[in-house]
Each structure stands twice: as structure tokens, then as C-alpha cells.
Amino acid sequence: MTRELLLWGVLALLSKAPVAMAPLALVFLSRESPAGYTLGAGLASAYVVGEVVGAPLLGARLGRGAMRRRLSAGLTVGALAFCALPFAIAAPTPVPIGLAFLAGAAPAACPGGIRAMLTRLVPEDSVTRALSIETTLTQITWASAPALVVLLALRVHAGAPLVVGAILAATAAILLFRLPETEEPEPADRPTAPITRTLLSGWPVYLTSAASMAMLATAELVLPALLESQRISVGWSGPLLAGFALASAAGALCYGSRTWPGSLRVQSLVLLVLTAGCLVLITVLPGPVGIAFGLLLAGVFQSGVMVTRNLSLRERLPAHAHAAAYSVMYAVGGLGYGLAASLSAVALEKGSPSAAILGGVAITLVITAVSAMAESRSPTD
């Protein structure tokens, strides 16, 4: 634990918090407007689409040098868009929609870039522990962000969460320059493939990310309906999802604390299947205690998937492509989340919440099988 790593931890929290706060903050911003929750859903969707579009486009430029400057610029533009949204909510709908898209797109390469900076700040034998700690920070942030948004929106002002997010992003943009530039250029003694081709070679690992996020979407979005179907108060949704996130944080620390048997590919696939099995449990175990048991176990295994997929991508691709590849994986994960969310909505219309969860698990297992076959047939770099 060095001064640089402590500074990186602060930077990671500051940059992750606005992302975790944004969707719910946009919903609260619009709830008192004439369009109400409909506009809020549109803004949240525009934000996520911005992330999915911006992550691969901007992330691919991170391997070309000046990573700190590029990440700082993205955070700054995102902060300005966050800050402008509360003032633009009364404007014609395309204006806040465009700002929400910009707020998601501009800093979308930051998760991948900041992760790449972390792996270059630590010795090679500490990378697994470092990525485990990063996953822990991510889960803690996502567990606490909704409560912070609700508190600020209801006690201060509907636009307060976005203003706080803007301040956090702007602070992160400044702190980036306190860390050393950590670019790793490609070796000069061998020909290099175009960055696009290099990034595409990691597609089996990206599929694993999509499968993981599909499970997360299934757990988050169907849980309220599942609780209602069992005549349990939907108020349990918040504590249960917070417990899921905290269990993920604990699971990440556990994974990084020791060496586990098997290759990274095998570990990732086993953990994905275990997470899927735990989600099946919440459809059959009765009451909030049974659902909590399944979700907590799922959270522990889910965090292992997050760490192993990052390590797998790092193992598969050359060093100069890591930051861009992490950004592409972030975007593909968002697509997996969105696909599962859409299919869950259709399943809830046509069937029961349990059927929607089982459908999400089935999608996850299919994606996992495709990824497993692809990785088994292609050598790593």
C-alpha cells in the first residue's frame, strides 16, 4: 500500500460514484417535471446508450499515449454535462436527452483506463489482489450510491445528486494528474496488428462480461416483481440488493486473498455457472430469508467472475491494448445488461417473475457455453 495506490483508490471512488448515481439521479430529476417518470426512463436510457457508444470509441484511443489527459478531458466534459442537466430539465426534451447521452459517453473510457493504470502501479504478482480490491471498491460504491441519491434528491433538491456527481467527476479529473503516466508502448521489435483487430480477438472474454451483466440485470430488475408475487413488501428490494453488492465486495476480497486451482478461463466459467445456480435458488426458496440466501451467495460468486474476466483479458491481449480492451468489455457488459433487461420485461408481461429469472439464467448459460467453446479453440497471446 503506497501513496500512489491510496491516491488511485480515492480517484477510483470519485470516478465510479457519478456512474453509479446517474440512472437513479436522472429519474429523481424528472419525477416532478410534466413528463415525469417517462422522461426519467428516457434520460437513464440515453445515459446508458452514451456509455455503450463512448466506451469502445474513446477507449480505443487510450493506447495512443497521454492517457491521463484523455481520461481527464472525458471526466471534465461529463462533469459539465451533469451540472447542466438540472438547469436543462425544463428545456425541450432533446436537450436533456442529449446532455444525458454526453454525460454517459464522455467519461465512458474511464473505468477501463483507470483499471489499466492500477495494474501498472503494482508488481505483476500483486495484480490479482489489486483487481480484487478494485472490484470491492466498485461494489461498495454501487451499494451506497442509491441511498446517497435518494437522500440528496429528497432532502436537498432534485438536481442535487447530479451536481454532487459533477463535483466528484471534476475532482477526479484533477487528481488524475497526481498519478504518474503509466503508458506501456508496444514493443518496437515486432510488427503489430491494428488495434481494432487486437481488440476483437478478445471477444470470448467480452461474452463472459455480457453473461455476467445479464445475470445482474435479471437479479436487479425482476426482484421487486418476485417479491410481490410472494406477497413480500417490495421495500425489501433495497436491502436485498445492497446485501448482494456487499457480498460481492466480500467475495472479491476473498478471491484476491489466495491462489485458486485451475486456469482463469475455468475459474470464470465455474463461477458463472455457480452464480446462475444461486439465482435459480431465489425462485424456489421461500420468503425474504430464502431470497436473501440465494442473492448473497450469488454476490460472492459474481465478484469472482468480475475479477477473473479482467485477468483473462489482461492475459489474452498485449499490454498496450489493455485500457482499450477494458473499455470495450465495459460496453459489451452494458449491452448484456440491456438485452437481459428487455427480455425480462417481455417475460414479465407473458409469464411469472420466476420464469423471467429462469429465462435470464438460460441466456447466461448459452452465452457462457459459446464463450467457453471459443476460448478452448483459440490460443491466448
Residue spans of the domains in the chain: they are 3-178, 195-377
Q: Give yes or no on whether 3-178 and 195-377 have one common fold.
A: yes
**Residue 349 pLDDT more than 80?**
no
**Residue 181 pLDDT more than 80?**
no
Report the percentage of the chain scoring pLDDT > 70: 94
**Residue 380 pLDDT more than 70?**
no
pTM exceeds 0.75: yes
Q: Which of 7-11, 34-38, 81-85, 196-200 has the lowest mean pLDDT?
A: 34-38
Residue type, 232: I
Winning range, highest mean pLDDT, from 26-35, 93-102, 227-236: 93-102
Report the distance separating Cα 25 and Cα 99, nearest Å: 14
**Residue 189 pLDDT more than 60?**
no
- The grid cell for 268 is 470464470
Report the distance separating Cα 12 and Cα 168, nearest Å: 11
DSSP sequence for 294-333: HHHHHHHHHHHHHHHHHHHHHHHS-GGGHHHHHHHHHHHH
The top-level CATH class assigned to 195-377 is: mainly alpha
CATH code reported for the domain at 3-178? 1.20.1250.20
- Among 322, 298, 308, CA closest to 381: 322
124 Cα distance to chain centroid:
24
